Amino acid sequence: MLRFILRRLLAGVILLFVVSSVAFLLLYLGAGDIARQILGVSATEEQVAQKTAQLGLDQPLIPRYFDWLTSAVTGDFGTSWFTSQPVVAAITSRLAVTLSLVIGTTILTAVVGTALGVWAARKRGAADRTVQIVSVLGFAIPGFLIAIFLVNVFALNLKWFKPTGFVQLGVSFPGWLSTVTLPIIALAIGAIAAIAAQIRGSVIDTMRQDWVRTLRSRGLSENRVLYKHVLRNAGGPALAVLAVQFVGLLGGAIIVEQIFAIPGLGPVATTSTAQGDVPLVMGLVVVTASIVVIVNIVIEILHGFLNPKARIS
C-alpha cells in the first residue's frame, strides 16, 4: 500500500507540473496589457512601461515561468497584481469556507445517495421508478436554478434561513448551519442523483451474482447479505463517482457562493479571472489541482479497503 501511495503522489506531482505549465502559458499569452488595466487609461506610456517592468512582464515567458515555479515550490505564489495581497493569504482566508461547503455536500451526498440507491434496489417497483425519475431530474436541473428556488421559497418567503451571508463555524455552530444548509442542498441534489443511480445499478448487479445466492443458501439474513457483503462490493464504483462529484462540486461552489454571497473562493476566482490577475489565478489552479490529487488518492485507498481485489501489496 505504501508503494501504491508513493506512486500516486508521484503521479500527482507530475499532474501538478503539467497543469501549472499549461495554465501559466495560457494565462500569460492571453493576459493582454495588464499594466494598462491596473493603472487605468490616464496613465502615461512611461508609467505603463515602469509597471510592466515591475511585474516582470518584460521578461521572456520561459524564464518567467521557472522563476514562478521556483517560488511556488517554496510556497510563495507571489502577490495579487490588483490588490497587492499575498496570493497564499488571499486563498487560505477563504479556502476553509469553500471546503466546508464541499465536504458537507459530499457527506450529505454519500449518505442520502446510498440510502436512496439501496432502497430502490431492494424495493424495486414504484420505489425504483421514483428514484430513477428523481435522478434524471437531479441531472437535468442546473444547480444555480435550484439555488435560486431555495432562496425564494425557504429564505425570502418562509424566512427559515438567511438568504445571504456566512457565519464562521468557530463563531456559532447554529449560525453556521443556518447559512450553509441551503447552499449544501443546492449543491447536493445533482450529486445525490448520480450516487443513487450508481448504487442502485451496482447493488442490483451484485445481488445477481452466484456468491450472493450461496450466502443466502447458508441461512444469512437478507440485511446481513446486503449491508455486510453486497454493499461493500458495490461501493467501489460509487466511490469513483463520488470522487468525480467532489471535483465537480468545487466548480459548482463558485456559482452557489455568488448566489448566497458566501465569502469563499468563488468571488475570488471570478474576480481574478475577469481582471486577468495571473498570480492569483495560478494559485487557485494549483490549490484546486492539489485537492483533486489528494481526493483521488483517498478514494483509491478506500476502494482498496472495500474491494480486496483492488488492493496493492
Residues 232-244 pLDDT 10s:
777 777 888 888 8
CA dihedral of residues 96, 101, 103, 108 (deg, nearest 10): 160
When pLDDT is cut at 50, 70 and 90, the band that residue 18 belongs to is very high
All residues at 6 or more sequence positions from 251 whose CB lies less than 8 Å from its CB, including other chains: none
What pLDDT was estimated at residue 313? 46
pLDDT tens string 89-101:
999 988 988 988 8
pTM across the whole model: 0.81
103 to 74, 88, 115, 250, 291: CA distances (angstroms):
27, 21, 18, 10, 12
CB burial string 101-126: b at 16+ within 10 A, e below: bbebbbebbbebbbebbbbbbbeeee
Q: Cell triple for residue 47? A: 508609467
CA 131, CA 113: separation in Å to the nearest integer?
10
Q: What is the DSSP letter of 164?
A: S
Domain boundaries, the chain: 35-76, 87-310
pLDDT tens string 33-77:
778 877 777 778 888 888 888 888 778 888 888 989 999 988 889
Residue 144 near residue 287 (C-beta atoms within 8 A) = no
**CATH class held by domain 87-310:** mainly alpha
